[in-house]
Structure 1
């Protein structure tokens, strides 16, 4: 499956206001970088307002249909990296059998180090959203989220949680780590929704 390829546009039509294009991929995070000597103890929990809470091992994730997406990413700190190619699992394939409750309206992504970020359910379920293990043909490095990170390219990239370990479905919006510390609850790069006072 291949989805999310940007329409052919001029570069300046693809870059939100006050962003600078880079060919590098800056490393930004708070806390330690998790390292996994092997993935036997790693899992991904899908829980909250679902009929069938589910836990995936890494091997089980790899048995799901593989998705590939090409997109641009935009960091709240002001850089944009164009034409990224991701491989992983489409969000819709992760959640298709869990039975999301009709009252669930938000998702809280849980990562290592207690890191979290919030998303409206409809944004998380967009066709362009996926859980990626590969970037531009290579496995993610530990600094960029190995073994699995969310990719939600239409929002600032802090919403694309690195080191993903849990997907929690909620009835109400719950701020994540950066949102509690002044970042915008939604984070639309085209509207420059960088901070809570924007």
Structure 2
């Protein structure tokens, strides 16, 4: 294990807690039969997972450090979730797709280059440190992209859209950096 100094980007402080930050209301699901995850855009055929189908996908354990744009870092996280490679067994991405827009509840969204979405370290989380995600942390499913600031790890995921051209999501439209590399301190678009 490398030293903490090598694991924490400049401007970040390590926390043992898991701070809760979001815009708008936290969604609470009463009937999971109403939840689905849509795959659309530049794919050969759109696909929609029901909650039951999604929860039957093979699960993998992931370990990582996460870094929030608000300057906290949480080290040694253990997640359980769906590897992107397992998700890709259900649809084919067109060659023209270069970006991904993650869509979440309440109109929230964030953008990613397709290479970041497809990284082996990126996944769809359902558990954190042995427990199902809480509503505050994205229940039932959140994207986790640990090499970027944590706003790119969309909570309450409901759709994955494949795009030819990049476009800003919610926070990017409101001044956050289009990419969000914590090692380059890409916090805001004026950085």
Pairwise TM-score range, normalised by the shorter structure: over 0.9
CA-to-partner distance for each residue in 1:146-165, whole Å, 9 max, x for gaps?
Answer: 00000000000000000000
Q: Which runs of 4+ in 1 moved over 6 A?
A: none
5+ unaligned residues in a row in structure 1: which ranges?
1-7
- Do structure 1's residue 162 and structure 2's residue 155 form an aligned pair? yes
Gaps of 5+ in 2: none
| Equivalent residue, structure 2, for 1:74 | 67
Q: CA contact under 8 A between 1:52 and 1:97: conserved in structure 2?
A: no
Q: Distance in 2 between matches of 1:38 and 1:18?
A: 41
Task: Quote how far apart the aligned CAs of 1:97 are.
Answer: 3.0
Alignment match, 1:94: 87
Select which of 161, 171, 192 maps to 2:185.
192
Q: CA deviation at 1:95?
A: 2.2
Q: Of residues 61, 64, 80 in structure 1, which corresponds to 2:54?
A: 61
Corresponding position: 1:178 with 2:166:
no
- Give 1:41's aligned residue: 34
Q: CA deviation at 1:82?
A: 0.3
Distance (whole Å) between structure 1 residues aligned to residue 138 and residue 14 of structure 2: 21
Query: Aligned residue for 1:19?
Result: 12
**What TM-score, normalized by structure 1, do the two folds share?**
0.95
TM-score (norm: length of structure 2): 0.98
RMSD between superposed Cα atoms in Å: 0.7
How many residues are paired up?
191
